[in-house]
Structure 1
Amino acid sequence: MRVSIIYATETGASEVAAFETYLFFYKRGLSVDVYNASSISLLTLFSYDYTIFFIPTAAFGEFPRGISHVVEAIIAVKHVPISYTIFGLGDSRYPLYNYAARKFQTLLNSVGATLFFPVALGDDQHPMGYDGELVVWRQDLLSHLDPSAPTVDRRCSYTFPYAVRYVQGVVDSEKVEFAAKSGTIKGNRVMTSETHFMDVHSVWVQGEFETGDVCCIYPEDNSARKMLQGLNFDPDMYIVLTKSSLLNTFFGDSIDTISSIRSKPSGWTMQLFYRAPWIMGPREFMHLPKIQPVLPSVTTSLPLGVPITLLELFTKYLCLSNTCTQFQMQVMSFYTNDKLHKSKLLEMSQDSVQGILEYYRYCKRERRSLFEVLYDFSSVSIPLDVLINIATPMYPRLYSIASSRECGLSRPLISLFPLPSIHRILFDHLVKYGKDIEAGFELIVAKTKYDTPSGRVADGLCSNYLANLRVGSSISYTLLRSQYSSLLDISRPVLFICTGTGISACKPYMEARAVKFTSMQQKTGVLSKVKDLAFLGFRRPNQDNLYADVSLVQGRCKVHYVFSRSTGKKYYVQDALLREAKDVCKVILSGVVMISGRSHPMPASVLDAFRAILMQEANFGQVAADKFIYCSLKEKKIIVDTWG
């Protein structure tokens, strides 16, 4: 019996859940292979008797990018007779709770796949998070796969993926190439006032891009030196990593969990998957020559076979600042002689309800990092090679690029001119001559901090890394192409709705459409009757107005500023939509809608407002309005680009 676990992830949560499940099976004698979804082809699915998927819900019910190429391939092939089950990771606060997992189940059922074990849906709102469902589900799943498997851990040893060789003496090392683009910081300024509760930065990066691109940032942990020294390791020591020949899991081989498959044209994607005639059955197809791997070209793997310092390894590739996992705690317990410390670590690493509750109380809810746990349990003397093998990856983060390629104007340059009329002169010059003033793009970054239940403050690693970058420094990134090309079609209007840093997703399209409208008018002499509508939600006009200068879109887009806390009564974008119901209804019926911001609770409130507007202005019944909204979401006439 061959069993595989396939996980899709963007933030690492499902990767940890998949790996913990692998260990649960391994400790009870069941052999399982683990794959990152971004590294597989359909051939991988056909190679196993049973496949266990871990599917989180990204944004507003979307599939994670890492599995989107698999979804496209399944839709095209139309016959994937595998035996599967799914564990979904979601949050019941959101209206599309675990929608991606449920949608993936429907897709697999439609192509002839067999559900061999009931689907389970984990909920972040459970006192034990998604583990509240996962603990019971995987125990029952084990009993289904192997009724004779022990219900408790058997004594076992772990074979780690990587061997570590220490380099003595002077090292003449070659530079380790990081498999990503490199950009230079051209500007970094705070956009919000000192009285705002959070700093929001405008970070300008030199580099080429297209309108609507998403920037995948590979952060660096600048506290790595201090943490390594705190663990009594020399940050400047050189080591060489090699792959263990005894490796029986694919976990950890790929550091980058974000697929760049979207950056390739559709034809290229099809060629990857459909080299063989799919009229063959899966068993015959398995004997065909191996399909070209679909690992994205931007995947950043651990640097194997070359000397690298511990500082570089734990700054760019592995992370001591990620939240400590139960597996890491279990491994720590092997390296302490303190009975109390050993007992506590083993308690928090258990699969029992009590163990997981204690783990969530001390670690997960507190966002306590691997380094912090090692610091608290000071009796643990963990070897370097073990630390390297249990450390989780430095996960990349996605940011919408807040610039438009069509506009090509560098806001640091524009800010030299105080008058809006100067903006218009530059804008008209661009439309006439089509030249860039400076190649570069803007990221709008909120410097995040998290208040934990005990009163601790945990900083967001990537946002703080970006916010602290100085002009002239370099960053590593890759670009993911836009999935919303319909927003550039100026034959129909667009309704933009965004809150806070959600302006990053809307602003590029607002400005690009303004360029297209002006260009068409200059070429044809005809003024388009199409006019866009925008509702930009911030807290206060003098604190966090992240798009105060809308002169570039003036006359092409009617902009409504919505300041939720500028008066005594809170006033949100959904309230403003209802006030402008007549104009909003026209765009909903004839155009495209883009909603951007945090996933909770704004998008759901906006959709509720749409229902009320359709019933009021278009005489829809409630059922008809709900059906219209559902179909619009499905057909991407309502685009929801959210996070959190």
Structure 2
Amino acid sequence: MAVQDRTALILYGSETGNAQDMAEELGRLCQRLHFANHVQELDAVDLNALLQYRFVVFVISTTGQGDMPHNALAFWKKLLRKKLPPGCLSTLKYTTFGLGDSTYFKFNWAARKLNRRLEQLGATTFIDGFEADEQFPDGIDGSFVRWAEGLYNHLLQTDPPPNGLEPIPDDVILPARWSLRKALESSSVLNGNVDPVLSGPPPDQLLPIPGCWTATMVDNVRVTPASHWQDVRLVSFDIPRKEGQQLRCHPGDCLTIYPKNFPEDAQKLITLMAWDDIADKPFDLSTCDSLPQGLHANQKCTLRELLINNIDITSIPRRSFLKGMSYFSTNPDHKERLLEFTQTEFLDEYFDYATRPRRSILEVLEEFSSVKLPAERLLDIFPLIRGRDFSIANGGEQLNHPSQEGVTRVELLIALVKYRTILRKPRQGLCSRYLDNLPQASTLCVTHKPVLTPIHGVQNAQRPLVAIATGTGLAPIRALIQERRTHPSPGPTLLFFGNRNRDADYFFGDEWDAAVRDGDLDVFLAFSRDQRTKVYVQDLLRQESKRLEGIIFRNGIFSVCGGSTKMADAAKTAVFDPFTEGADDEDGRKKVLSSLTWWQEIW
């Protein structure tokens, strides 16, 4: 099979979108060196296609308990086929950039497993890969910037542009990968304008999301007092059968919600960019040569509808977005400042300007008022709204609708994101604002994301469980405990739960108290602000070290869930250190810990 001349393939396995964003950036890097390139998710590629390219770059995140991302599972399954001969990928030249978090047991395992399997099949690296860590001082983004710079320099030196061509300089804009030009031109043959929605919550419009279920919101109840600093909701959805099949959920599964922008924010952007004349003219997306992966839009739509339903105008701008802005600035000072944010030596300034104060794309465009982005570049420059994953908070029989057969009742425990930045500006998360204003009985499209490393089921229910949770991390724990209680003779279950105040933050307290009275559960509570000396879950874990030691030797399951990597690290230390400290067979005990089921979900 002939290798395509100077054509690169950049593949991503992405759970939250970071790996996809980086893959797109690498595609632009290759463009500047005059490589033709294709950027695709891993599941979209056949193994034979890998051999057709000059080189392949894998950008892959690790999810769950050392698992491949959901959009890489089919590719990984193909790669593991036993009938593949050892040297079948001997002509493949590749490299990998892994995204991971060292607070997890299986740090960057997706990249490591991929590298190992590619080597077994004869592939060789053309440049050293990299394992980025969320815990690095400058995060994964800082590592990526430096690694990508090294990749650029390596390619420039070893495979320079042909025929005396020079690399396309940074101050020259690249052709659009996805252009709306043909669609906008098609608007002239479609009749009239669509009446715009200018205020209020986003319109109740179902989007064509692959594999989606239609859900009706039946409850949105605040479970913290109105006077409390945090607004936590128990949001319930009813999801009927689809094509005769009922939605089946298990503990650890997520429901993915696709939020929308508010009409007034869309109008603000339309005014800033001077798009009023074209905002409500219908056009046909099918006339476009290509569209980005993850764009869930009706073919017949308007620019305003795309802005409300699909374009993430409230997210923190990535460096690539600021670079895109710079090409359309008519103010030299604005252009210079925007370009500084994109340069490696100014990473700290980018962090202080964008990430630390959590400036939104809309705010940045307001500040750099000389920038007028052309509407045809909308999909090429702006990020898409991605679905938000929420752990399902109910399990077992609680997933069945109380009166309607075939309807699944899904509950989510959601802390609405509301805060003030260092700029003293109020902030509200895109999905939080969407859910907060969603009218009762609204219907929306949701998708179901199954857990990749399960700890539920009859056999697991017979093993002891130590569940460790803080805040809304209690959601998947509750689903697991509810499911375990439906099985005969479940193993001992211990719940260590931490939050600030018992009166305000003891989620599902009545439920836990009833389970304790029934003898099905032991509960250990750490409410840090209810006494002068702060108490945390790790303190309670140390107090119960002898009991936990017995559970470790009985092949127990440890599950830790919450919104803090510090808590996860502290919990692991509080369990592991007492188990090995001062033991006669310390090496043997460390070996026991290495095979312990430690299931972690931190966000």
State the TM-score, normalizing by the size of structure 1. 0.77
Q: 1:52 aligns with which of 54, 57, 67?
A: 57
Aligned: 1:595 with 2:560: yes
Report if the CA contact (8 A) 2:34-2:167 is conserved.
no
Report if the CA contact (8 A) 1:94-1:599 is conserved.
no
Letter in 2 for 1:560: F
**Residues 311-322 of structure 1 mapped to structure 2, 5 A cutoff:** 311-322=304-315
Name 2:476's counterpart in structure 1.
505
SS in 2 for 1:606: helix
**Cα–Cα, structure 1 residues 112 and 467, in superposed 2: closer, same or farther, change >3 Å?**
farther
**Residues 67-82 of structure 1 mapped to structure 2, 5 A cutoff:** 67-77=72-82, 79=86, 81=89, 82=92
- CA separation in 2, counterparts of 1:560 and 1:409? 29
SS in 2 for 1:477: strand
Give a deviation string over 1:455-498, Cα, whole Å, max 9, x none: 44443222332233231112221112234544222333322222
State the TM-score, normalizing by the size of structure 2. 0.82
Which range moved further: 198-207 or 209-218?
209-218
Q: 1:153 aligns with which of 169, 172, 183?
A: 169
Name 2:437's counterpart in structure 1.
468
**Cα–Cα, structure 1 residues 243 and 64, in superposed 2: closer, same or farther, change >3 Å?**
farther
Name 1:362's counterpart in structure 2.
353
* Cα drift, residue 33 of structure 1: 1.6
Which residues of structure 1 form unaligned runs of 5+? Answer: 256-299, 414-433, 518-527
- CA separation in 2, counterparts of 1:89 and 1:145? 22
Which residues of structure 2 form unaligned runs of 5+? Answer: 1-5, 196-204, 240-246
SS in 2 for 1:47: coil
SS in 1 for 2:551: helix
Q: 2:506 aligns with which of 536, 545, 559?
A: 545
**Cα–Cα, structure 1 residues 131 and 437, in superposed 2: closer, same or farther, change >3 Å?**
closer
**Residues 417-432 of structure 1 mapped to structure 2, 5 A cutoff:** none
* Cα drift, residue 172 of structure 1: 9.0
Aligned: 1:584 with 2:548: yes
Backbone CA RMSD of aligned residues: 3.2
Report if the CA contact (8 A) 2:292-2:379 is conserved.
no
* Cα drift, residue 125 of structure 1: 5.5
Which range moved further: 556-565 or 120-129?
120-129
Name 2:383's counterpart in structure 1.
392
**Residues 98-117 of structure 1 mapped to structure 2, 5 A cutoff:** 98-117=108-127
Which range moved further: 39-48 or 449-458?
449-458
- CA separation in 2, counterparts of 1:529 and 1:137? 49
Give a deviation string over 1:331-381, Cα, whole Å, max 9, x none: 3233332222223223333x4423x44333322333322222211111222
Q: 1:604 aligns with which of 561, 564, 569?
A: 569
Name 1:353's counterpart in structure 2.
345
Which range moved further: 5-14 or 389-398?
5-14
**Cα–Cα, structure 1 residues 178 and 107, in superposed 2: closer, same or farther, change >3 Å?**
closer
- CA separation in 2, counterparts of 1:492 and 1:90? 29
Report if the CA contact (8 A) 2:562-2:602 is conserved.
yes
**Residues 106-255 of structure 1 mapped to structure 2, 5 A cutoff:** 106-124=116-134, 128-147=138-157, 148-149=160-161, 153=169, 155=172, 157-163=174-180, 164-165=183-184, 166-167=187-188, 168-170=190-192, 177-179=208-210, 180-207=212-239, 208-212=247-251, 213-223=253-263, 224-231=265-272, 232-234=274-276, 235-242=279-286, 244-245=288-289, 253-255=292-294
Report if the CA contact (8 A) 2:398-2:409 is conserved.
no
Q: Percent of counterpart pairs with the same letter?
A: 27
Give a deviation string over 1:308-328, Cα, whole Å, max 9, x none: 133321222222122223333
Report if the CA contact (8 A) 2:316-2:361 is conserved.
yes
**Residues 272-283 of structure 1 mapped to structure 2, 5 A cutoff:** none
* Cα drift, residue 60 of structure 1: 5.7
Letter in 2 for 1:120: F
- CA separation in 2, counterparts of 1:357 and 1:192? 38
Q: 1:11 aligns with which of 5, 12, 16?
A: 16
* Cα drift, residue 135 of structure 1: 3.4
**Cα–Cα, structure 1 residues 475 and 486, in superposed 2: closer, same or farther, change >3 Å?**
same
Give a deviation string over 1:366-424, Cα, whole Å, max 9, x none: 332222221111122222112243221111111111111423477xx9xxxxxxxxxxx
Report if the CA contact (8 A) 1:497-1:535 is conserved.
yes
* Cα drift, residue 638 of structure 1: 2.5
Name 1:643's counterpart in structure 2.
602
**Cα–Cα, structure 1 residues 531 and 478, in superposed 2: closer, same or farther, change >3 Å?**
same
- CA separation in 2, counterparts of 1:193 and 1:307? 44
Give a deviation string over 1:62-83, Cα, whole Å, max 9, x none: 4333223333332334646232
Name 1:265's counterpart in structure 2.
none
* Cα drift, residue 560 of structure 1: 2.4
- CA separation in 2, counterparts of 1:643 and 1:199? 20
Give a deviation string over 1:474-530, Cα, whole Å, max 9, x none: 22211122345442223333222222111111111211221223xxxxxxxxxx383
Letter in 2 for 1:594: S
**Cα–Cα, structure 1 residues 613 and 136, in superposed 2: closer, same or farther, change >3 Å?**
closer
**Cα–Cα, structure 1 residues 84 and 436, in superposed 2: closer, same or farther, change >3 Å?**
same
Q: Which has the higher contact order (CA 8 A, sep 6+)?
A: 1
Name 1:425's counterpart in structure 2.
none
SS in 2 for 1:204: strand
Name 2:242's counterpart in structure 1.
none
Which range moved further: 440-449 or 570-579?
570-579
- CA separation in 2, counterparts of 1:529 and 1:381? 62
